[in-house]
Amino acid sequence: MSRTLEECDAILILDFACDCDLMSVVRTRWYGPNAGWRFRECRDEECGFHKWVDEPPTDRTLEIIKELKERDSKHLDQARRRRDRLVAMYEARLTAEK
């Protein structure tokens, strides 16, 4: 079974207790000005424990993440258009066979 990066982070780094003595989890922020930056937080939302794990990303790192996300989004759009064309072709064929 494959896991998302965030799930892997959360599983691998359960070694630091927060202020309420629960093991905190590490997650990665994937949006906003801190994209790519990992942080620890308590599993209990009411605790409010939050601590950055990484140093602040450099402007270059943020630029690369932005470019990769744009590229990913373009590929997703292409894949959706391809899928829609295939569905339309398939439906046209079904209609023609009736």
Q: Which residues bind Zn ion (CB under 5 A)?
A: 18, 20, 22, 42, 44, 47, 49
For the bound state, the minimum distance from the C-beta of residue 19 to Zn ion, rounded and expressed in Å, comes to 5
CB 36 within 8 A of CB 65: yes
Q: Which of 22, 65 has the CB closer to Zn ion? A: 22
Q: Which of 23, 68 has the CB closer to Zn ion? A: 23
In angstroms, rounded to a whole number, what is the distance separating the alpha carbons of residues 93 and 98? 9
Q: Alpha-carbon dihedral of residues 93, 95, 82, 77, nearest 10 degrees?
A: 180
Q: Which of 16, 90 has the CB closer to Zn ion? A: 16
